[in-house]
Structure 1
Amino acid sequence: MAVVRIKRSGVWDYFAVNVTDDSKVSCLLCPAIIPRGGKEAKGYNTSNMRRHLESKHGDEYATLAAKEKELIKEKDGNNKTSSAGSNSQPTIIDALMKSQPFSFDHPRAKEITKKVGEMIALDSEPFNVVNHTGFSRLLKVLEPRYQLPSDKYFAETLIPEMYCKVSLKLKDVLVSTSHISITTDVWSSVAQDSYISLTCHYVTEEFTQKQLCLHAAPFNDRHTGEHIDNMMNKCLEEWDVSGKVHVIVRDNGSNFVAGLRDAGLPSIPCLAHTLQLVVKDGCLAQPAVVELTAKARKLVGHYKHSNVALQSLLRMQEQLGLSPKRLIQDEATRWNTTFYMLERLIELKVAITATGVELEVPIELSSSHWALAEKTVKILQVYEEATREASGNYATAGVVIPVVNSIMRSLEVFDSDSGVMKMKREMLKSLKERYRHMESNEYYAIATLLDPRFKQKVFSSSTSAALAKQMLIAAHEALEGEERIPKRPRLESDSSAINKKKSSLLWKFCDELMDENSETESSPESTQSVVDAYLKEATQPRKSDPLSYWKRNQENLPHLTNLAMHYLCAPPASVASERLFSTAGNICTELRNRLSPTKVEYLLFLNKNLPALDYDY
């Protein structure tokens, strides 16, 4: 093994580390003990030793200096030898060139400008960030030769150019995509400009889900079905994807339903939006709950606006051994924020009650209010879980049937409280009405069968499961054509395919449904052994990625895999469009209300698509 020799300063020829204190050295020429310049090893240096030699031992210091001078000459000679044939001494012209600012078209300057443009789009920065003193000083330190263009250049030239380049890249991606799903929504900015969004969802050849923003287009016409029809067809034709759309996920507004129907585009309602309507219909509209939420809102508002009350509440939590938390104020348009408000109130009930007595808070909840709050939170817990499930980045339409049937089962559980049962009945009625054709809808039924975590086991009846199977067989035969698979396929399962019972309230009811349907047999009349074999196989774990199953089985089940990529590209909710407009809210602010709708669209488009396309444009 080679020995690595570490060169050390020649000054150590005259000193040795002190045996009793390694932060000091002993002079070998006299009895002096010299500090090494620090209390810890990382602070040690040889400066004190050199000064001691220079002041006390002049001859030795001169010898040391001569040796170091010879070493420097030797090193310079080696450097000149290694660079033979080149002029290592820069000319005056070279030195002047290195001090000159970059030209506008210099490659380094163009790259920096491009990254500044990306920063503006990705971080929702205003165009005039380039005029901010701190940002200019930072760039001056990082690259003194770079000169920032004006904010007008970024707004009028660079961002539009980036939009065009990313659009071309996105079109290239869509050309190689066989089927996509769309989510859509409408939003109004603080400047009273309306926008319609189209986000595209598809499954790649590597079996990963991707989301892209096609449009956040200005939409200042009346939001009628006719105008939605025209705008939707115009947007899809612009991207040349009209024939590739699997399904469009939209809200429950009659204008969207009519507009997409007239456009000849298949659509399904957003699961999260539908659950919100169900909760409002059956729970939050009940007089007792209306009174409860109104009082809870005022109570939270008191602690929000009174610093004395807030600090007392925080101190009280500490005295009770709790981690200090603040109350949550709800938003009238989002039922789940009301759930979070009541949940936090219940969590801090003892601290709130004690603080109220101490400060004589003007608003208080009675024992009946607290009891109703606990029951309401318990009922809404399954809805909150379902909304989170539908809002996940990689959720598919295959979760709609298991989620809705699980909620229905939770609502059928008897409760001795008549008020609670009334809420459950109203919500169950609303849910059944809104999803009365759910299990006969091919976009839900086939997606559920092709989700290896659920298959036929989450349908409400064997009749519905059999109908869904016939839909799958028909779709399979349409792909298969005259080709027939001669033998029963060998399926690759996940090694941990047995589903474990979860503590989740939502999936508790789903597990019960799956257990009851575990003996469901495939129809003996089926001529598709490949479908039978797939459906008979054990379901995959709840937390597994359904697409990873199809990636493993793409060779064994080519047509089912193709169908899975088709049907599982659809999300259960239009959350992607809502998130797009959340970003829009950071761009169109009160301080930036004069941005043109076109620039808003450019910035939103780049914000969402640059990361999705890995900045490759």
Structure 2
Amino acid sequence: MASRNVRKRSAVWTYFDDGDETYEKVLCHICGERIVHSGNTSNMIKHLKIKHREEYNSVEVKRKKEAPGTSKTSQPSVLESFRQSGKYPEGSPRATAITKKLLKLITIDLQPISIVEDQGFQEFVQELDSRYVIPSRRSLMRTSLPQLFQTAKDNVKLTMADANAITLTTDLWTSRAGEAYISVTSHFIDSNWMLHSHVLETTNLPGEHTADAIANKLKTIVDDWEIAVKILSVVTDNGANMVAAIRQLGYRHIPCFAHTLILIVKDSLKEHETLGKVLQKCSSVLSFFHHSSKASDKLKEIQKQLSLPEHKLIQSVETRWNSVFYMIERIVEQNQAITTALCLLGRNSLCIDQDDLQELKKAIAALQPFEEVTREISAEKYVSISKVIPLTTLLMKASANLSRSDNELAGYLVQQCSRRFANIEMNYPIAVSTFLDPRFKGLPFKSNESMEMAKTKLIRELQTERQDQSVQQVDGLSPSDESVPSNTDIWAMFDSARERSQQDRSASTEAHVEIRSSPRQQGFGVGAA
């Protein structure tokens, strides 16, 4: 074969040979295909790019390294040139848009303002867009955040202006620094039947938390938001100072159902002395494992050996009764692993015996319904007041059934429920909400008298509403309102006659018709099967 003095400078020649004697085509070493040479490597590079991508990438890397002057005189890419240009002017559309997203990150994700001073965050933003200048902490605190707050407040005010009635929930709480705060949240349904909830304010409440101090603070907040005339009721815990403050302001008070459940469970646990001793032993067990890394590691090891779920033990929290339930549940689940670990570590005195274990299992059975109800009532996306009476009835029924099965804790729960929920059906907002809920109607009421009282008051309210509407209609009548329909359709004449007959109904008739459209079903009591 004739030879040719060809200078194979390009890295692409690694995968090709001269091919035939005419030198017009080259041979691909990878697939054997012949490629037209044409005196340059363009076709060969194209062939690798289309059919042998990995080899093409390798050639490109070598070509860039072999290119003369690449280390000193390489031309920057368009993106690099863009990044090397000047910063965004303050107030430019792009800078403003990024700052808005930064504020959203801080407010929605509850990030500290100091995040803008963190080196990692600054490098992250620089990599995303080097032209953006991160606002200073001072600028955010003095300008950007106050503006965002005012915009959000104006939007919430505009939304609440569409509401006919507003219910507030409020509570006192203490920060980790020991400072007292009060939070106020509004809840209402707009004209499109959408439920809204907005935290109106969280503010410091120094000094003694008397009814006067709480009432003054609430009045300030309500006046600031211009909603005083729209407040239908206020939901708080059962604290005497909170109840007195709401009544002092002249608003209807509704006790927090979830807080009442907390008090019921806490008081019942205090009454059960035997269970109280077992819970103290459980706390000692948890304290031992939480303060000893050796014990904690041993427990994990035994969990694996026994093929038990590798769950951590749960410590109860004073302010959350259901944490006691979760603690008991986890100890029962991991009892075998806990007992084995304690014995191997020489702490047999902490072991929970079978009698104690049976008490814990009974406690789980008694508290399970209360845990389910607590989760059910803690929803934020739908109205829950109509569920209070049905859930109360079901709780008392479940506890009564368990108490007849020698469950002492269930018996205490029945007593506490009977004491704290004795007049629940006499609470008009709760009773009428249940009655008007098409899922329940009169079903959950234990007392027919309570339901009838709620219904009678509701009828009176509807009569008043109908009378007000009738006055407005009469005031707005004109001679043209009595004219005969212009078209000759028989059904149009019928509709006109029907409308006139409905106008002749009294307010009392309308109210009773509306109530009858929601008939009462048979009720069920605590002792029902």
If the TM-score is normalised by the length of the shorter chain, which range does it land in?
0.7 to 0.9
Q: Is the 8 A contact 1:101 1:144 kept in 2?
A: yes
1:288 matched residue in structure 2? 274
**Is the alpha carbon distance of 1:101 and 1:379 closer, same or farther for their aligned partners in structure 2, counting shifts above 3 Å?**
same
**Is the alpha carbon distance of 1:527 and 1:262 closer, same or farther for their aligned partners in structure 2, counting shifts above 3 Å?**
closer
1:351 matched residue in structure 2? 337
TM-score (norm 1): 0.65
Q: Is the 8 A contact 2:436 2:518 kept in 1?
A: no
Separation in 1 of the partners of 2:421 and 2:438?
23
Separation in 1 of the partners of 2:376 and 2:286?
28
| Matched AA of 2:311 | K
2:356 matched residue in structure 1? 369
Q: Secondary structure at the match of 2:294?
A: helix
Which of 252, 256, 265 is the aligned partner of 2:238? 252
- Deviation digits for residues 11-46 of structure 1 (CA, Å, limit 9, x no counterpart): 99968999xxxxx4213269xxx99999x9895454
1:428 positional shift: 2.4
Q: Is the 8 A contact 1:328 1:340 kept in 2?
A: yes
1:467 positional shift: 2.3
**Is the alpha carbon distance of 1:36 and 1:330 closer, same or farther for their aligned partners in structure 2, counting shifts above 3 Å?**
farther
Q: Is the 8 A contact 2:168 2:186 kept in 1?
A: yes
- Deviation digits for residues 201-242 of structure 1 (CA, Å, limit 9, x no counterpart): 112333232210111122113210111111111111111111
1:304 positional shift: 1.7
Structure 1 residue 533 corresponds to structure 2 residue 505:
no
Structure 1 gap segments, 5+ residues each: 1-10, 19-23, 52-89, 488-524, 540-617
Which of 405, 420, 434 is the aligned partner of 2:393? 405
1:25 matched residue in structure 2? 31
More off after superposition, 367-376 vs 156-165: 156-165
Which of 140, 149, 172 is the aligned partner of 2:158? 172
Q: Matches of residues 189-208 of structure 1 in structure 2 within 5 Å?
A: 189-208=175-194
| Matched AA of 1:383 | F
Structure 1 residue 235 corresponds to structure 2 residue 221:
yes
TM-score (norm 2): 0.75
Structure 1 residue 433 corresponds to structure 2 residue 439:
no
Separation in 2 of the partners of 1:285 and 1:374?
18
Q: Matches of residues 198-597 of structure 1 in structure 2 within 5 Å?
A: 198-361=184-347, 362-393=349-380, 394-413=382-401, 415=403, 420-421=407-408, 423-481=409-467, 528-535=512-519
Separation in 2 of the partners of 1:370 and 1:219?
45
**Is the alpha carbon distance of 1:463 and 1:143 closer, same or farther for their aligned partners in structure 2, counting shifts above 3 Å?**
same
2:4 matched residue in structure 1? none
| Matched AA of 1:25 | C
**Is the alpha carbon distance of 1:103 and 1:409 closer, same or farther for their aligned partners in structure 2, counting shifts above 3 Å?**
same
Structure 2 gap segments, 5+ residues each: 1-14, 17-23, 37-43, 62-77, 471-497, 500-508, 524-529
- Deviation digits for residues 467-505 of structure 1 (CA, Å, limit 9, x no counterpart): 232233233323333769x89xxxxxxxxxxxxxxxxxx
- Deviation digits for residues 378-406 of structure 1 (CA, Å, limit 9, x no counterpart): 11111111111111112421111011111
Aligned pairs, number? 440
Q: Is the 8 A contact 2:306 2:337 kept in 1?
A: yes
**In angstroms, what is the RMSD of aligned CA positions?**
3.5
Separation in 1 of the partners of 2:52 and 2:393?
65
Separation in 1 of the partners of 2:222 and 2:90?
38
Q: For the pair shown, which has the larger CA radius of gyration, 1 or 2?
A: 2
2:74 matched residue in structure 1? none
1:124 matched residue in structure 2? 110
Separation in 1 of the partners of 2:464 and 2:300?
64
Q: Secondary structure at the match of 1:145?
A: coil
| Matched AA of 1:400 | V
| Matched AA of 2:397 | R
Q: Is the 8 A contact 2:162 2:191 kept in 1?
A: no
Separation in 1 of the partners of 2:85 and 2:132?
11
Q: Is the 8 A contact 2:271 2:412 kept in 1?
A: no
1:166 positional shift: 1.2
Q: Matches of residues 592-603 of structure 1 in structure 2 within 5 Å?
A: none
Separation in 2 of the partners of 1:14 and 1:536?
95
2:481 matched residue in structure 1? none
Separation in 1 of the partners of 2:422 and 2:26?
92
Q: Secondary structure at the match of 2:517?
A: helix
1:441 positional shift: 1.2
1:437 positional shift: 1.9
Structure 1 residue 106 corresponds to structure 2 residue 92:
yes
Separation in 1 of the partners of 2:430 and 2:383?
13
Separation in 2 of the partners of 1:98 and 1:49?
30
